[in-house]
A and B are shown apart, each in its own frame.
Chain A
Amino acid sequence: MTAAKSGTGPVLDVRGLTIALPTHSDRPEAVSEVSFSVERGEIVCLVGESGSGKSVIAQAVMGLLPDSLPLTVGQVLLEGEDIAHAGRDRLRQLRATRMSMVFQEPMTALNPVMRCGDQIDEVLREHTALGPAERRAKILDIIREVALPDPERIVMSYPHQLSGGQRQRIMIAMALVLEPALLIADEPTTALDVTTQAQILELIKTLQARHGMGVLFITHDFGVVAEIARRVAVLRLGRLVETGDKDAVLKRPRHDYTIMLMNSVPDFKPHGRPIAPDQPIVLQTKKLDKTYAERGWFSARRVVHAATDVSLEVRRGQTLGIVGESGSGKSTVARCIVRLIDPTGGEVYIHGEEIARRSHRALRPLRRKVQIVFQDPYRSLNPRRTVGEAIIEGPVNYGLSRSEAFERARRLMDLVRMDAAALERYPHQFSGGQRQRICIARALAMEPELLIADEAVSALDVSVQAQVLELLEEIRERLNLAMLFITHDLRVAAQVCDHVAVMSQGRVVEYGPANEVFVSPRHAYTQALFAAAPGRDFAFGQA
């Protein structure tokens, strides 16, 4: 064992790992006969869509599997020691000392009621016999190493006082303070904005290089893979379908599934479709404003500017994309246009009719012209109504008889590539992608002129995302719809949009044809944003 530790064998060697799922699950095993290894000083990416079992593998390595998911067969060798069958205490000793883990949600992965310094300190107290002064010195060191400013203040801070990126740095500091041989990073940048993500990826790369540890990096984002991996392992439904060097897998995939995935990854290049110039304007906003004022009895009013001076226009048959990081105000604009919230200033014109200030009653006839598809496919449909009921609700509201509405619904199901039998079923019987199709059908049932897609594909796996995007594109073309496409994903925006508006802190910082904006961004923020996009210059699936 000691020989293995000091030796040159892989840091992590997973052999024939099989983990059972509880009975009544859709498949018998979460992970089946998975074998791979992580060498010292390399980053291995474990890639897969949701349900592929990638996080289960990470938990199995750490010995953190829930009782409902027992490890049935296989070995997990950490520096040669089989920890799949090690006792609780031995596992506990190894954690943080020989293997560490960084999780996806920096918001929730840190204990909110404990100071950051104390959370790092816990690791030292648990695993070392250092005195308080030594521990403190070590904590300050590691905080400096993860490039956090003002370590003294950080030590005394609670997690909520830090930004998401800073928190993830604390997580990394905590994981690395005892210099483990293996770092498992489970989607560590997924919850972060793209610019922060770039920084964290850079940090992991730097630290990995400096300490020479092995990193098992789990992600669903092929941009990130392209950015960080040396080797890649692709999972599908708990099975390893392909493994190899990054370039080999991403550029020359052999397995059908991998090929399909690589084809699904949108290119970071504008599609270059010609834009018809003199189509009628469907939507126009002028100096749209939305401010939230928190009122309190005694406290001073706190005013939040969610959107300021937003002026946009969308023409028939064209797609305007609004891109920006979280909190940039892009969704606020969409909700103001649909009048789910009332704008505080400015005007919104639908076909030249001002709607920003209309009473809800007066608004009603115009409602049907603007429809919206939301991000979360699981909450967008009333769980207690059949799909059919959901789709006909709008048309019936506007005077269509139920039978006519159902007829329309059946046609729409065909349009969104679903079986008409689905109309009789309830939303929970469908997958996320299918639900999003249903939502699109529901919006189209109103025969709108403007379709707003508010992060409509963000929650979907890349392959499903590709299908839904394709569908939207097809519909736009066929129905000559105006579309407002809101997304944080620059690749998606590049593929879909004719025009792009980049938003930051409630303002539109750059607005123009997609070709111009993507190819030669002018605003500094846009430039930084695009620069941070992972794997932007990587060509997927091309030999």
Chain B
Amino acid sequence: MIVKRTLATLAAAAAFAGTFGIPAARAETTLVVVPHSNLAILDPIWTTAYMSRNHGYMIYDTLFGTDENSKIQPQMVGSWTVSADKKVYDFKLREGLLFHDGAPVTGEDVVASLARWGKRDAMGGALMTFVDKMEATGADAFRITLKEPAGFVLEALGKPSSNVPFIMPKRVAETDPTKQITEYIGSGPYVFVKDEFKPGDKAVYVKFDKYQPRKEKPSGTAGGKHVYVDKVVWNLALRDYQAQVNALANGEVDIIENVPFQHYATLLKNKDIEIRKSKIGLQYMCRFNHLHKPFDNVKVRQAVLASFRQQPFLQAQVGVKDLYKPCASMFTCGTPYGVSTGSEIQSKGSMRKAQELLKKSGYDGTPVVIMKPTDLSSIDKLPEVAAQLMRQMGMKVDLQAMDWQTLVSRRAKKDPVDKGGWNMFCTAWVSPDIGNPINNAALGARGAATPWFGWPEDAKLEELRAAFMRETDEKKKVALAGEVQKRAFEVGTHAPLGEYVQPQAGRKAIKGWITSGLAHTYWNIKK
């Protein structure tokens, strides 16, 4: 009976499909992208959310970009000079920069934008502690004067990921940094179609005809941002991973930003689909809460570090050998800072060693509350593995499942565990965001005053970080980074759990797509 009914339904459906057919091809080219998450906030300075950052790259331009080799390259800036005492930076914008409303980009716009960014971004904030003043020195020029030399001015201005110092018109940039902007005008390659923006459904961008790309080859967030499609549509409604993959296979969408690892192998086999692995990956970490038992005890933290071999985490979470690799560094492996200094406690650790360390630590059986996100498939298995390893080591574990949003609000709580606090959570960082001792938020060690959650306290670590900030010599910086890392492992700030690449997938017909891993950008694509 049921079989018969299904067949009847099928027959009807077939007739249906025949009648309507596939909608006729459009004259204009539209690129349909399935982003990795939902776009909720349209102010990339106000929030660090990667979706807002990517949105920023669509409509805004940056002073500098980072190429795929992590080198800083000029983008809006045409030329610049640094004074001999390394205190005065003079910048000149390149020609032909226009906002979407037709107004030219001026030095005043830049100064206002940087000022707002400096109040929100961690690295920007660090830069501002060095800045004496910023001023427009002409219609297309501006100057930054430092109180003392700083080694990361261009790195900050060319920062590829959140918060990116996007350049907005002055009137927009003057918005209170604690409030969100309400006008979305930039000088970037795409114009945001506000009327068609439906949160949770779609965001639409059309080509900005008057955008003048640089002549250089595009690379990372640097180089020429050429636009070859008329329209980019972000499909924000399609969030089920299987449905994303199906839609891509059916040609209903062009790109999916986040290929679930389990679909990697299948998609590789699909002739119509190209899998992209970016050079720059992400790093997993589990974070200790240093304020409460048992992780207020450095010996317990070290025991855990010893048990946290990276392989089980990577195998469970990623599972595809092509896509992960253990990385002993707290910074990005493969970059100059990606050294393994001081990592032996973890990289040479074993369960037996961990058990010994735990025995000596004076661990009293306090259960560890691990917060586990239920709705973030890219990190949801790390806590499971962490729990299992700690249980095998002999600790008591209370694995508490919650959605990511709850986790995010709860991790901000410094309260004891029984009052809604926590002991551990795990997350992933885009490599550039943890690429050095300054921007790696997990290394802040000012106790309860540390901006990022977990609140380790170690004066020596802070000193080393400050020295790194002041240092301008690249070689010495690498050495200092090693020192910072060594100290961080000694303190046990957190446990790095290896690197992975988040593959992206697109239809074969898509050409020229830049998948640097720095950020998701949609210029230079031909369809």
A and B touch in the complex (CB under 8 A): no
Taking Cβ atoms with an 8 Å cutoff, the residues of A that contact B are none
Identify the B interface with A (CB < 8 A). none
